[in-house]
Amino acid sequence: WLKYLLGFLPPRFSPGRFALSDTEAMVRCKKLQKKHKPVKGKKKDKGALKRSSVQHVRDPRLRELWDEKLTTKQNLTKYTLKELYADTLPDPEDIPDKGKERKLCWRDADVVKDLVAKFGEDAAKMARDHKINIYQWSERECRLRVERLKKGLINTEHQENIAGRGLDQEKVLSRKQKQRNEFGH
């Protein structure tokens, strides 16, 4: 079994003329141990901090304030963006709070006008009416669309076509034309 563990014999090898005795196996094992040399690497100094050079800093302002005795992390945490770029940052009053407000599509505006005429401000009833509310908007969606209509945020047909949303859609028929059947009654 010793020969098998040392790798001299394959499993189920029948001892014969190629078999090694126990002493021969031990001698061969000792020779291999003498030949083996452990890998020696340089020991790293764990206590030393990695320093960073100014050459890798591209920003001119940060390069002026860079301290080569400190690590990169210490240099970067030493200054804030306000300290470095106070003159280039915009004033807080100049920054807009929101982006553009979404506008109501001109097709949706016709439906919302009909809903407002029938129900007033009640968005819950608007959401339940499936005849006028053909897009099946929820209560929240109805409320948002009514607010946009009151603010006058409506895109025209031309604006929709420029934006690419109205190129392949036909114009919605008015309520009177929808009520007529195919025979004109």
DSSP state of 8: S
Listed in sequence order, the residues at least 6 apart from 57 whose beta carbon sits closer than 8 Å to its beta carbon are 63, 66
Residue with the bigger pLDDT between 114 and 47: it is 114
Q: How far apart are the first and last CA of the chain?
A: 103
For residue range 42-83, list pLDDT tens digits in order. Answer: 776 665 556 667 777 888 888 888 888 888 888 888 888 888
For residue range 77-107, list pLDDT tens digits in order. Answer: 888 888 888 888 888 787 777 777 788 888 8
| pTM confidence score | 0.40
Angle at 175 between CA 171 and CA 181, to 5 degrees: 95
For residue range 130-155, list pLDDT tens digits in order. Answer: 888 888 899 999 999 999 999 888 88
- Percentage of the chain beyond pLDDT 70 is 70
Residue 139's φ and ψ, nearest 5 degrees, are -60, -45
